[in-house]
Structures are given as C-alpha cells and as structure tokens.
Structure 1
C-alpha cells in the first residue's frame, strides 16, 4: 500500500522542482497540505497531490485553447514559437 502522505522532498522530486518551490506551493495554498509534529513539518496527502496535478493539466489545456495552439500540428506550433519556449 502506498503511503497516504508525501514529504515536500517527495513532491519536489516528482514535479522536478526544488523543495523551496514545493514549500511555496503549500504556503500559498495552491497545493493543500497539513503541518504535523512539534517542528511543524509539511505533509501532502497523495490524493491532494494527484488533484493538484489534474488541476494543472486543466489549466494548461485552457491556456493552450486560449492561445489557439491546442489541436494544431506540432510543426505549425514549432514554426511559430512562443514566449514559453524553454529550450
């Protein structure tokens, strides 16, 4: 049985971000979490993490629809480029 809660380090690893960014997602309320223990360590419920990922997919789809790139061919989009090009 998989663990019910994830450490911020686990969240960061799975999203390929640093722990500081994962903590910011929690502290802004974007990623629901709880504080546990005397030192107040954050824990993210696995179901909340999956819901967060699904929300981000929905947000990304809406963004692509708004830009008019959703449904276009890869060649068309690549030829036009975007401000979000990473590499």
Structure 2
C-alpha cells in the first residue's frame, strides 16, 4: 500500500525534478502541501500530487493547442 503523504524528496523523485523546485512549488502555492510536526516538515498528499499532474496535463494540452508546431520547429 502506498503512503498517503509524501516527503518533498519523494515528490521530486516522482516528477524527476530537484528538491528545491518542489520546495518552491509548495511555498508558492502551486502544489498543495501541509506542514506538520514541531520541525515543520512539509508533506504532499498523494491525491493532491495526482490532481496537480492532471492539471498540468490540461494546461500543457491547452498550451500545445494555442502554440502549434511550425514546420521549422519539426525540422530541428
């Protein structure tokens, strides 16, 4: 069974980005997270991560549609 909450390093590994990128995404509010414990450790709920990924797929599809690939782009 997968854990409900992930450490930021786990999220970074899942998305194949740096820990600092995930920290910035959390601190900016782009990726919902909670701060727990006396030391204030960040945790991202797996369901929120999946929602974030789905949202990014939609945003990317909209961007691709608004920015069609030109012939020049395809030849590089």
Common topology (TM > 0.5): yes
SS, match of residue 42 in structure 1: strand
Structure 1 residue 57: Cα displacement: 0.5
Identify the structure with bigger relative contact order (alpha carbons < 8 Å, sequence gap 6+).
Answer: 2
Q: Give distance in 2, aligned partners of 1:42 and 1:78.
A: 41
Misfit runs of 4+, over 6 Å: none
Counterpart position of 1:50: 50
Counterpart position of 2:7: 7
Structure 2, gaps ≥5 residues long: none
Q: Give distance in 2, aligned partners of 1:28 and 1:4.
A: 22
Counterpart position of 2:26: 26
Structure 1, gaps ≥5 residues long: 82-87
Structure 1 residue 53: Cα displacement: 0.3
SS, match of residue 68 in structure 1: coil
Give TM-score, length-normalised by structure 2. 0.91
The structure whose Rg is larger is 1
Alignment RMSD, CA only? Answer: 1.5
SS, match of residue 44 in structure 1: strand
SS, match of residue 3 in structure 2: coil
Count of residue correspondences: 75
